[in-house]
């Protein structure tokens, strides 16, 4: 069992039945795309322990559901994706409790990052602190024009705890990553696009639909090919190039054992749409 499979197994055992009702998020599936919405608009969708737990259950459910081919994560209301951790809850934690809270947040971001199905963040408004870290763990990030990003933890005597000190420099480079981490500054959507923090910026109020448009393009393709592409990128970036290329060739060969490859090539030659089954 791989590390990420073990993580998902341990979380499932810890959290119990993933079918329990949600109170702080909403979860729905339409046309093979799961939409996960954090529903704490009055708190700017701030992240507390209960919301962390519900998000983990939602992503475990999406991971296990063969009918789900992609996931979109967003926050309710126009003001925030996730404005950060719930400071009122966090301020009273002991050092040991704080460490466990950070580890729980890291479990969530690792679960999202390790999903074999693409996760798209539809970022409306503030994505600060833990919210920025959750967005960083998603595979594709679509931002509204009013989106704002930052890791302001140093302003309250902390550092990021959900993986921001590791993922942010990996994504935008060490220099820019350190500048954002050490100043605690906030950047707008245009700057986030310029430095590669987000994939695209769209007009306010359209971010979920824009993410759905991308997801629709993804789910039209062969499921195994999508999964292998994600595995190749996730693992290959941590390998020397020659080793990563050998892995790519091995995955390319595996595709030729699939019904989807045979269907896809036949459909291309016959000039018709392909009908993939994920086998």
- Decide if 153 is catalytic: yes
| List 41, 153, 263, 270, catalytic entry | 153
Distance, CA of 252 to CA of 256 (rounded, Å):
7
Look up residue 125 and give its two tokens: 């408004």
Q: How far is CA 140 from CA 37, 59, 119, 157, in A?
A: 16, 16, 7, 30
Distance, CA of 204 to CA of 268 (rounded, Å):
38
Q: What is the 3-state secondary structure (H, E, C) of the chain?
A: CCHHHHHHHHHHHHHCCCCCCCCCEEEEEECCEEEEEECCHHHCCCECHHHHHHHHHHHHHHHHCCCCCEEEEEECCCCEEECCECHHHHCCCCHHHHHHHHHHHHHHHHHHHCCCCCEEEEECCEEECHHHHHHHHCCEEEEECCCEEECHHHHHCCCCCCCHHHHHHHHHCHHHHHHHHHHCCEEEHHHHHHCCCCCEEECCCCHHHHHHHHHHHHHCCCHHHHHHHHHHHHHHCCCCHHHHHHHHHHHHHHHCCCHHHHHHHHHHHHCCCCCCCCC
| List 103, 133, 191, 209, catalytic entry | 133
Distance, CA of 11 to CA of 26 (rounded, Å):
20
- Decide if 97 is catalytic: no
Distance, CA of 185 to CA of 128 (rounded, Å):
10
- Give catalytic residue positions: 133, 153
């Amino acid at each position: 069992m791989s590390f990420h499979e073990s993580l998902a197994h341990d979380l499932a055992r810890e959290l119990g039945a993933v079918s329990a009702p949600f109170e702080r998020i909403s979860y729905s599936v339409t046309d093979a795309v799961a939409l996960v919405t954090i529903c704490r608009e009055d708190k700017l969708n701030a992240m507390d322990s209960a919301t962390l737990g519900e998000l983990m259950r939602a992503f475990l459910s999406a991971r296990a559901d063969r009918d789900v081919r992609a996931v979109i994560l967003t926050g309710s209301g126009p003001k925030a994706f996730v404005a950060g951790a719930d400071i009122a809850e966090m301020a009273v934690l002991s050092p040991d409790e704080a460490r466990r809270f950070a580890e729980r947040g890291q479990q969530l971001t690792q679960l999202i990052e390790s999903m074999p199905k693409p996760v798209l963040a539809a970022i409306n408004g503030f994505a600060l602190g833990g919210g920025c870290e959750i967005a960083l763990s998603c595979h594709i990030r679509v931002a509204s024009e009013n989106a704002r990003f930052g890791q302001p933890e140093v302003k309250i005597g902390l550092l990021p705890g959900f993986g921001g000190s590791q993922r942010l420099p990996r994504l935008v480079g060490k220099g820019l990553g350190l500048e954002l981490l050490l100043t605690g500054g906030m950047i707008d959507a245009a700057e986030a696009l310029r430095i590669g923090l987000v994939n695209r910026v769209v007009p306010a109020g359209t971010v979920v639909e824009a993410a759905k448009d991308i997801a629709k393009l993804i789910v039209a393709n062969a499921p195994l090919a999508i999964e292998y592409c994600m595995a190749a990128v996730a693992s290959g970036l941590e390998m020397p190039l020659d080793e990563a290329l050998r892995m790519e060739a091995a995955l390319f060969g595996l595709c030729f054992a699939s019904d989807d490859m045979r269907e896809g090539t036949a459909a291309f030659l016959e000039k018709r749409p392909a009908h993939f089954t994920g086998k």
